[in-house]
Amino acid sequence: MSAPSVEKGIQFIREQIDAPVASFFSACVHCGLCAEACLFYGQTGDPRYTPINKVEPMRRIWEQEYTLWGRIKSTLGLARKVTEKDFEEWEPLVYDACSLCGRCSLVCPVGNDISGMIRKIREGFSAAGYAPEGLIGATTRAVQIGSPMGVKLPAVQAQIGHLKHDTGLDAPLDQKGAEYMVLLSSMEIMNFPEYLEAVAKIMKQAGKSWTIASKAFEATNSGIQIGTSDIAAELVQRVVDAAEELGVQTVISPECGHAYTAIRWEGPNLIGRPFTFKVKHILEVLDEFREQGLLKTDGMEEAKLTFHDPCQLVRKGGVIKQPRKLLNMVASNFVEMTDHASMNWCCSGGGGVSANERADEIKFKAFRQKKSQLDELQVDTLVTACANCRITLEEGLEEYEMDLPVVGLTEMLADHLVDENEEQG
Judged by the rule CB under 8 A, the positions of this chain that interact with another protein are: 17-24, 26-33, 35-37, 41, 45, 47-48, 50, 52-53, 66-69, 105-113, 116, 264-269, 272-275, 278-279, 315-318, 320, 338-339, 342-343
- By beta-carbon proximity to another protein, the closer residue of 28 and 329 is 28
Of 30 and 165, nearer to another protein (C-beta) is 30
Angle, helices 114-127 vs 3-16, to 10°: value is: 150
Strands 250-253 and 278-281, by their bridges, are parallel
Question: What is the side-by-side strand order in the sheet with 210-211?
Answer: 210-211, 180-182, 250-253, 278-281
CB 202 within 8 A of CB 289: yes
Specify the residue, 189 or 270, whose C-beta has the smaller distance to another protein.
270
| Alpha carbon distance 317, 305 (integer Å) | 23
CB of 58 to another protein, least distance (A): 13
CB of 273 to another protein, least distance (A): 6
Contact yes or no for 243/177 (Cβ under 8 A): no
Nearest residue (CB) to another protein, 8 versus 48? 48
In the complex with another protein, the residue whose CB is nearer, 67 or 140, is 67
CB of 222 to another protein, least distance (A): 20
Residue 60 or residue 201: which is nearer to another protein going by CB? Answer: 60
Give the amino acid at 189. I
Q: How far is the CB of 106 from another protein (least distance, A)?
A: 7
In the bound state with another protein, the residue whose beta carbon lies nearer, of 135 and 279, is 279
Q: Of 200, 269, 214, 270, which Cα lies nearest the Cα of 243? A: 214
Give the nearest distance from C-beta 39 to another protein in angstroms.
Answer: 12
In the bound state with another protein, the residue whose beta carbon lies nearer, of 6 and 279, is 279
How many Å apart are CA 341 and CA 310, to the nearest integer? 9
Chain-centre distance for alpha carbon 99 = 9
* Minimal distance, residue 80 CB to another protein, in Å: 11
Closest distance between another protein and the C-beta of residue 52, in Å? 7
CB 187 within 8 A of CB 386: no
CB-based contacts of 83: which residues, under 8 Å, 6+ apart?
Answer: 6
Cβ(311)–Cβ(102) below 8 Å? yes
Closest CA to 54 of 33, 27, 35: 35
211 to 72, 172, 243, 257, 325: CA distances (angstroms) = 59, 5, 10, 21, 26
For the bound state, the minimum distance from the C-beta of residue 369 to another protein, rounded and expressed in Å, comes to 12
CB nearer to another protein: give 316 or 390.
316
| CB 74 to another protein: min, Å | 14
d(C-alpha 83, C-alpha 3), whole Å: 9
